[in-house]
Every structure is written in structure tokens, then in C-alpha cells.
Amino acid sequence: VSDASGCSMVALLHTGAAKFPRTLLPRVRQAVRSLLAAGVLKGYGSIVSRKLASHGFGASMAAMSSFPPQRYHYFLVLDFEATCDKPQIHPQEIIEFPILKLNGRTMEIESTFHMYVQPVVHPQLTPFCTELTGIIQGMVDGQPSLQQVLERVDEWMAKEGLLDPSVKSIFVTCGDWDLKVMLPGQCQYLGLPVADYFKQWINLKKAYSFAMGSWPKNGLLDMNKGLNLQHIGRPHSGIDDCKNIANIMKTLAHRGFIFKQTSKPF
């Protein structure tokens, strides 16, 4: 593919041999923008972005091109809050059940599921739990049981088209605790089945470590700091934590990161 001066832009960018005079930059940007829009450079977007970035104008390139396509149509961001105390009470019970439906192409939030859950084994929240999560007794009293909430999750999944076999979606959590420990443990205690869609997920901590090369010891706080993002809302609010996870994912996706399942098959 040649620009107006006859240079093979893709070949030069691919080899790293391109040395653009400043007078040619506007022409190069416009030519690449046109070719990307027309689909001519499909498959070369990431190469072009990397090479132009190496020449000091990656920001303008990022503005004109989209990030690489993800493997999933939708990401379902989930973050439970549960009954807790010091020392820890057993069994723990989910008291906040939020899910954000994130479009895998735009990385924007399309839909929200959010319910509080009535605990039954330890129905009275401890002061420690309220201080940590911000959830007060009145927010869980009279709310549906976990079984009822799981039924509503399934209804929401169906309404959002997420149960269609042709639609690829996966849950995303900040750690493995939510879907490896908390949900299956409480379901086992209550004699409830665990839907198959809860049995595979992406651990954002692992994804972040793959993308950034460091492990976020303090979870969302470290990831926001590492990406220069402002923390959204209140720490340990389930719905606010979901918003932070979604924001971190969007930022990593814009940097070219492709999210992959991190959980092992059940």
C-alpha cells in the first residue's frame, strides 16, 4: 500500500525503517486514517499503531484507530459483597449481587443487574460488615433469598440475549474468590445448583499482571494507580467495584490487551 509519495507504508512501518519528515506527517496520518476506515489495512492496525508510536505520535494514531477485537461479545463484570466479621463468620452469605454487561467491541456498559440479598444463616449484619461494605441492615431486610436472586439473574441473562449459544460471554471478577469459593460454597450449603455460565471467568488481577508485568497486591487500588485512573465510588461497594473493574478493562483494551479466560475448567 503506497501513500502519495509512493512509499510502501505498511512495509516500512513493519520493518521499522520508516523515517517520516515532519512535513509528511499530516499526509501519512490522513492516508492511514482513510485506509483504516476503508478496511484496506485490516489486520495491520496493531502494527501501524506500534510503529507510529515508536516515532512519537502514538496518541494521534490511537485516536484514529480502534483497539483490537476481543474474543468475547460481552464481559459480565461481577463483584459480590458478603456477610463478614473478625474473626470471620461461617458460612459467609452473599448480600450484594451486581453484574455489569460490558460490550466486548466498545468496552462500554450496556446493562446492569443489581440486587441485595437477604442472608438467612446470619440475618443480622455485623458492625464490621456494615463499616466495610457500606451495606446497612435495612438494605438486606426483606430482600429476595439467594435462590430467588439467581432465578432473576437467569431471567436477566435471557433478556439480554446472553443465553444464546452464538453469543460468547464470560464473567470477570477481581480475584477468584467470587466464583471459585463464594458462590459455589453457598450454593452447596443451600443445596442449590450452580449455572454453567458461572463456571468460567477472567480474574482481572491475572489479566492485569499479564498486561502490565506486575501483580496488583492491593487489587483495584493498585490497578487504578498503575493505570493512572481515579477510583470510582466507595471501596468494597459491589456495584462501585464493578464500575472500577469495567474502567480498568476498558483502559487495558485500549492499550491493545486481549482478555482470555483464566479459570480452570470445573
Q: Which three cell numbers stand for residue 31?
A: 492516508
> Is the CB of residue 78 less than 8 Å from the CB of residue 179?
yes
Let me know if 236 is a catalytic residue. Answer: yes
Residue 174 to residue 248: CA distance in whole angstroms: 11
Catalytic residue among 81, 93, 96, 160: 81
Tell which residue, 27, 80, 12, has the closest CA to residue 238.
Answer: 80
CA distance 227 to 44: 26
Given 93, 96, 160, 236, the catalytic residue: 236
**Cβ–Cβ under 8 Å, residues 119 and 89:** no
Beta strands in the chain (DSSP E): 74-78, 81-82, 94-103, 109-116, 169-173, 201-203
CB contact set of 238 (below 8 Å; sequence gap of 6+)? 79, 80, 81, 96, 97, 98, 114, 133
- Specify the pairing of strand 109-116 against strand 94-103: antiparallel
Backbone dihedral angles phi then psi of residue 2, each to the nearest 5 degrees: -115, 150
Residues classed as catalytic: 81, 236
